[in-house]
Amino acid sequence: MPTYRDDAVVLRTQKLGEADRILTMLTRQHGKVRAVAKGVRRTSSKFGARLEPFMAVDAQLYIGRNLDIVQQVDQLGAYGAAIAADYDRYLAANAMAEAADRLVSEGDVQPQQFFLLVGALRSLSKGEHGPHSTRDSYLLRALGLGGWPIQLEACAQCGELGPHEFFSAHAGGTVCRACAVAGTPRADPDALAHVAALLAGDWESVDAADPATANRASGLVSAYAQHHLERALRSLGRR
């Protein structure tokens, strides 16, 4: 059977039979791939530990009828253990993996999404920033790559330059008073500035923010992400 090799991040796993797993992976050159890893749940497996969620690998697969088959795996980034050892990191990584799973389809080649996720998981595993900040920054950038860039400098409806005090996930970001429909919530300037810092990767500002501001900004990012992904991210609702 024809084989191929690609860099991949394991997004999630599912048990199959007594010893196998079905893997959902985001790859660099083949988009999202679902594959079977045979025998990886046995203690004698040579590469079972390399195929846990959030691991980055160089995988060789052959093309199957319904699911591809993993033949060989070399480790590129061992992020899973450090992430799983911390509950907040684990929840953040799960939310990022859920988002990647929904943003990239099978066969949809999006190398930028792959590299963005790898970078975020690497940072998360090293504890470079707060887990929620790493997650929120990733979500904003991944949504932007997916075609839903958040608008913070002008009205997302009419384009009038801001700053504006209303925020609408449905509209795509901040909106002016004239475009804000009844019930559109206000967002305080500090929270909006924090969202802008997350999007820009201004980590000095992000890391220095007070927890209350960071939490309000996180609420905006969560609402925005879940609206445009059209489904709730399960891990965002847990603390």
CB 199 within 8 A of CB 150: yes
Write b or e for each residue in 42-52: b if 16 or more Cβ atoms lie within 10 A of its Cβ, otherwise e. Answer: eeebebbebbb
Confidence of residue 190 (pLDDT cuts 50, 70, 90): very high
**Mean pLDDT on 152-174:** 93
Please count the CA atoms within 13 angstroms of the CA of 210 that sit on its side-chain side: 4
102-150 pLDDT, tens digit each: 999 888 899 999 999 999 999 999 999 999 999 999 999 999 999 999 9
Q: Is the pLDDT of residue 49 over 90?
A: no
Write b or e for each residue in 17-30: b if 16 or more Cβ atoms lie within 10 A of its Cβ, otherwise e. Answer: eeebbebbbbbbeb
- State residue 87's pLDDT score: 95
Burial class from Cβ neighbours inside 10 Å (0-12, 13-18, 19+) for residue 13 reads middle
Mean pLDDT of the chain: 91
Give percent of the chain with pLDDT exceeding 90: 75
- State residue 18's pLDDT score: 85
17-31 pLDDT, tens digit each: 888 899 999 999 999
- Is this model's pTM higher than 0.85 or not? yes
- State residue 162's pLDDT score: 83
56-113 pLDDT, tens digit each: 999 999 998 889 999 989 999 889 899 999 999 999 999 999 999 999 988 889 999 9
- State residue 237's pLDDT score: 57
Please count the CA atoms within 13 angstroms of the CA of 39 that sit on its side-chain side: 8
Q: Is the pLDDT of residue 155 over 70?
A: yes
191-203 pLDDT, tens digit each: 999 999 999 999 9
If one compares 231 and 175, the residue with the highest pLDDT of the two is: 175
Alpha carbon distance 204, 208 (integer Å):
6
Give me the DSSP letters along 78-132. Answer: --HHHHHTSHHHHHHHHHHHHHHHHHS-BT---HHHHHHHHHHHHHHHHT-S-HH
The values of phi and psi at residue 176, to 5°, are -75, 170
If one compares 121 and 1, the residue with the highest pLDDT of the two is: 121
- State residue 235's pLDDT score: 67
- State residue 1's pLDDT score: 58
DSSP H or E stretch at residue 196: helix 189-200
